[in-house]
């Protein structure tokens, strides 16, 4: 498995700090595969909760990230225009 910036999700304290730092610096968009991995990780709800709080700040979310977030939080909105989001089928 390819490792991403977040590393082991079992050590969740540093991961929470990293998510906060990336969000504060507007860098979350570059880490979308890792954010999706966190949302899939069932080992700690705090990680998923923090990602769900911060992903709305991503201006160009991937369709996979939008889908994964909508599974947890159906009313989530992103700070982007509707034209950049995939059409609902």
Query: Do 28 and 34 contact (CB within 8 A), yes or no?
Result: no
pLDDT in tens, 9-26: 998 999 999 999 999 999
pLDDT at residue 84, rounded to an integer: 47
Share of the chain above pLDDT 90, in %: 63
Residues of the chain scoring pLDDT < 50: 1, 81-85, 89
Query: Do 51 and 19 contact (CB within 8 A), yes or no?
Result: yes
Query: Do 70 and 76 contact (CB within 8 A), yes or no?
Result: yes
* 3-state helix/strand/coil string of 72-87: HCCCCCCCCCHHHCCC
Q: Coil, strand, or helix at residue 42?
A: coil
Comparing CA positions, the residue from 36, 5, 9 lying closest to residue 22 is 5
pTM of the model: 0.79
């Amino acid at each position: 498995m390819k490792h991403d910036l977040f590393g082991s999700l079992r050590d969740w304290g540093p991961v929470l700090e990293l998510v906060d730092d990336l969000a504060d610096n507007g860098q979350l968009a570059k880490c979308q595969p890792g954010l999706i991995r966190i949302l899939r990780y069932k080992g700690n709800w705090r990680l998923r909760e923090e990602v769900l709080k911060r992903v709305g700040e991503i201006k160009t979310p991937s369709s996979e990230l939008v889908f994964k977030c909508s599974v947890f939080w159906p009313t989530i909105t992103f700070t982007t225009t509707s034209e950049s989001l995939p059409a609902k089928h």
